[in-house]
Structure 1
Amino acid sequence: MNSPFGGASSSSSANAIGAQANKDRKMQSAEQLVLDLSNPDLRENALLELSKNKELFQDLAPFVWTSFGTIAALIQEIVSIYPVLSPPNLTPAQSNRVCNALALLQCVASHQDTRMSFLNAHIPLYLYPFLNTTSKSRPFEYLRLTSLGVIGALVKVDDTEVISFLLSTEIIPLCLRTMEMGSELSKTVATFIVQKILLDDVGLDYICTTAERFFAVGRVLGTMVATLAEQPSSRLLKHIIRCYLRLSDNPRACDALRSCLPDMLRDATFGSCLREDPTTRRWLQQLLHNVQGPRVALQAGGGFDHMLVN
């Protein structure tokens, strides 16, 4: 029964105060764990706890970025396993530990207040050796996937400056490598990154500027389509079709797709996958309309005709 003197209101106030106190305790705990990262003896536990609970801590990314020595400690964790990348001797424990460090970097890459500082410091370059590996063992696959997660966090926000940086540092060949040999999940994230790059005009122009770049991307997309015919994945197919659709926005690329678009996208091979995904089905219909419609006149300077793959 509520008191005539405002018991209900007092209860609400007490709950709000309790929630704020709990939030403050969590943030104090997070701040202490971040400080522990600078201590080699405490770092492993701090990495584990922070990576498991990073969503619970508000403004963790700015604190990680601005606290003394923290980013240096995370980079130290990353470079410490370079020697075991080739020949491949990465253990599960080493992979887990560096992936916990990468999870914190993903947090920094995702936050609006730290994203550009993260990029301007060229920190993504420290992850590229992980994307250049070819071992299919679980420790390496986990490492590639987590590294792709950091890059994926950067491209989720449409920003031409981010795209330009990634293109200038040759991210496309690294994504293509994963799209060829990674697990379904890592292929999906890598294809998503290529899709986001293509959706930016700078990215589309970059890939369609030369026939070599266009066909490098087209070859890998085609290989994945053939693989999906045997091992279907609606999620991966969605990103592949979106990449093709965006390529068809470029006149020369669209002309080239008339010869190199996989037949399996033109027939009913993926009918079952598309039946329950109206968005992807609509994208495919638009792609086929673009490619099979009236032939697009080539711009001055020629197109890809001399290199078309029949």
Structure 2
Amino acid sequence: MANLPQSLFGSDPSSSSSGAVAPSTSGTTTSTTDHGEPSRVYVEKLILALRDDKTRERALGLLNKTKATREDLALLLWHSFGTIFTLLEEILAVYRSISNPNLTERASSRVCNALALLQCVASHPDTRKLFIKANIPHYLYPLLNIMNKEKPYEHLRLTSLGVIGALVKPGDEDAIHFLLESQIFPCCLRCMDVGNDLSKTVATFIVHKILMKDEGLKYCCAYAQRFYAVGRALENMLENLAEDLSHSHHLLKHIIGCYLRLSQSPRACDVLRYCLPTRLRDPTIFNLLRDDPTAMVWLQELYHNVSNRAQWTTIPTGELLASLIRP
């Protein structure tokens, strides 16, 4: 654990008023180390400033600016007294606003700053398991289930997805097991349905990472209703990809990755042989991916897996791909 000052572990009753921490974020310049990064003392003062309602909003924004340069920020946040609770308070406070159309950009940005700090904690190898053990992702699910598509709500959706994405990115089996147990799939499918392209991409990335684990693939294919829900979400995104597919390259790649992984389940492959979306044979898609060797290999493997009895692949996969990407 990081060597933290005593002031971060416990609250001094004599300093519980706003005056003790207000100077941390107002009227001061960022103190830096010899390498130009924010000093530890400066970061600790910002964390202390989170305790005061009057300085919290500014401290949230300034702390987010230190993420890229302070590798110990996650440890400082997690092991300092009351900080994670304070971040969760920010999330809980916005619950009242997500069901009505009155959420402001400022309120959304404030919560997104708190979420971004939680993402920092979720990303760090020394705090990820603690983050999961504390069941913190459960607090994000109401934000993932938002149906409003306006910008302030979209920011909440995307930043919440970023926290979950940080958990699954390393392929941590404990994290994926936890997310499956806590029913993350319905939340991701909802984001794939109502989010913008970036939210769809992150949600599909999460589903792809989960499917890459045997437990995730088994979970998805265990029941027909569950499999078809994922299939519908993937197909709908394919059909609604922007005409300028260059802006949807990453989303398309993750969609193909999900289909490929599903095709590696015998039960799912039997279905995909007859219902693989015809959009996947669109020459525009192949031309878009021609410079992405990984995506092209995924497509080849997908077609190889479903080619037996497939109704629309009547020529060898290699010849089909070659003909479609030929200038």
TM-score grouping bracket, smaller chain normalisation: 0.7 to 0.9
How far apart, CA to CA, are the structure 2 residues paired with 1:75 and 1:216? 31
* Runs of 5+ consecutive residues of structure 1 not aligned to the other structure: 1-18, 296-310
CA apart distance, 1:231: 4.7
Q: Which of residues 264, 274, 278 in structure 1 aligns to 2:289?
A: 274
Q: Which of residues 258, 274, 279 in structure 2 aligns to 1:243?
A: 258
1:1-310 to 2 correspondences below 5 Å:
21=34, 26-228=39-241, 230-232=243-245, 233-293=248-308
How far apart, CA to CA, are the structure 2 residues paired with 1:235 and 1:53? 28
Contact 1:198 1:243 in 2 (8 A): yes
CA apart distance, 1:53: 2.2
How far apart, CA to CA, are the structure 2 residues paired with 1:287 and 1:256? 13
CA apart distance, 1:68: 0.4
Decide whether aligned partners of structure 1 residues 138 and 25 sit closer, same or farther in structure 2, where only a CA change above 3 A counts. closer
Hey, which of these two has a bigger chunk of helix by percent?
Answer: 1
CA apart distance, 1:272: 2.1
**Match of 1:185, as an amino acid?**
L
CA apart distance, 1:271: 2.3
In structure 2, the residue matched to 1:8 is none
Q: % of aligned pairs identical?
A: 56
* Runs of 5+ consecutive residues of structure 2 not aligned to the other structure: 1-31, 311-327
**Match of 1:261, as an amino acid?**
L
Contact 1:77 1:101 in 2 (8 A): yes
Normalised by the length of structure 2, the TM-score is: 0.81
> Secondary structure of 2:103's match?
coil
**Match of 1:234, as an amino acid?**
H
CA apart distance, 1:204: 0.4
**Match of 1:63, as an amino acid?**
L
Normalised by the length of structure 1, the TM-score is: 0.86
After superposition, give the CA deviation of every residue in 1:23-60 in whole Å (9 maximum; x if it has no partner). Answer: 78611111110111112111111101011221121301
> Secondary structure of 2:305's match?
helix
How far apart, CA to CA, are the structure 1 residues paired with 2:185 and 2:44? 36
**Match of 1:206, as an amino acid?**
Y
Kindly report structure 1 stretches of 4+ aligned residues shifted beyond 6 Å.
Answer: none
After superposition, give the CA deviation of every residue in 1:52-100 in whole Å (9 maximum; x if it has no partner). Answer: 2211213010110010010111011110111011123211000000000
How far apart, CA to CA, are the structure 2 residues paired with 1:159 and 1:278? 26
Bigger drift between 229-238 and 87-96 goes to: 229-238
How far apart, CA to CA, are the structure 2 residues paired with 1:65 and 1:23? 24
How far apart, CA to CA, are the structure 1 residues paired with 2:35 and 2:298? 47
CA apart distance, 1:267: 4.4
